């Protein structure tokens, strides 16, 4: 599913809603730009349909940064306490750990959780050369809550791809009138800047 709608892209490139001549090409550009956004960020901005398990290395025994978690349904946090590669200790939400941002579920729109914080006397195990925390969850963003920066990056890149048909040699505009623009074969630089905070953490196993 594209991270912006056809109507949003048409407004972005100043095409009247009633003008449907380029709808197919516009939708293709949206779908392609969504794929590019996901490739750049190494993540998707929709919620997993089923829970999957990911491992995380621990640098701070009091908290662990994790991929965005869309819901507590199906959420299981466990730790490898002896470094044998098996998560033998299951933690209890709101007793052993809490999810942050604390008010993520109350935000408008709803935000995902991105951090586990140990509570009481519990500590996350910091193992040498091995991830210590296992998280089974439906990762991603809750339905209908794609970050605005991601949507804008998708629109920027989609408009770029759509205009590429008018620049077969990768150059749009006019040198004579100082409006030359080279459409490089990469994600738009402004789109990259918008997406950089959302790139998947390298320490995820």
Q: What does the domain layout of the chain look like in residue ranges? A: 6-43+146-198, 52-137
| pLDDT score, position 170 | 52
| pLDDT score, position 90 | 97
| pLDDT score, position 200 | 76
| pLDDT score, position 203 | 46
Tokens 């009481």 belong to residue: 120
* Residue numbers of the chain with a pLDDT score lower than 50: 169, 175, 177, 179-180, 203-205
CA-CA distances (angstroms) from residue 91 to 79, 94, 169?
8, 9, 57
DSSP-derived pairing of the beta strands 52-56 and 133-137: antiparallel
Burial of 135 (0-12, 13-18, 19+ CB in 10 A): buried
| pLDDT score, position 181 | 52
Q: Residue 22 region, left (φ>0) first, then alpha (ψ -120 to 50), else beta?
A: alpha
β-bridge partners, 53: 136
| pLDDT score, position 43 | 86
| pLDDT score, position 201 | 63
Is there a contact between 48 and 70 (Cβ–Cβ < 8 Å)? yes
């Amino acid at each position: 599913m594209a991270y912006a709608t056809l109507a949003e892209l048409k407004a972005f490139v100043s095409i009247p809603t009633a003008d449907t001549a380029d709808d197919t090409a516009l939708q293709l550009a949206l779908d392609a730009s969504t794929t590019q956004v996901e490739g750049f960020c190494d993540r998707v901005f929709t919620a997993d349909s089923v829970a999957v398990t990911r491992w995380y290395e621990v640098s701070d025994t009091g908290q662990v940064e994790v991929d965005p978690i869309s819901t507590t349904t199906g959420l299981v946090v466990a730790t490898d306490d002896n470094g044998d590669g098996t998560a033998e200790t299951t933690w209890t939400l709101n007793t052993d750990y809490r999810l942050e941002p604390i008010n993520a579920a109350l935000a408008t729109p709803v935000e995902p959780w991105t951090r586990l914080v140990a509570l009481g006397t519990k500590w996350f195990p910091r193992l040498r050369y091995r991830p210590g925390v296992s998280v089974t969850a439906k990762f991603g963003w809750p339905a209908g809550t794609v970050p605005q920066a991601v949507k804008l990056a998708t629109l920027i890149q989609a408009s770029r791809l759509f205009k590429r048909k008018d620049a077969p040699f990768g150059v749009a505009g006019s040198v004579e009138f100082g409006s030359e623009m080279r459409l490089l074969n990469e994600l738009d630089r402004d789109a990259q800047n918008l997406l950089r905070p959302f790139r998947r953490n390298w320490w995820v196993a």
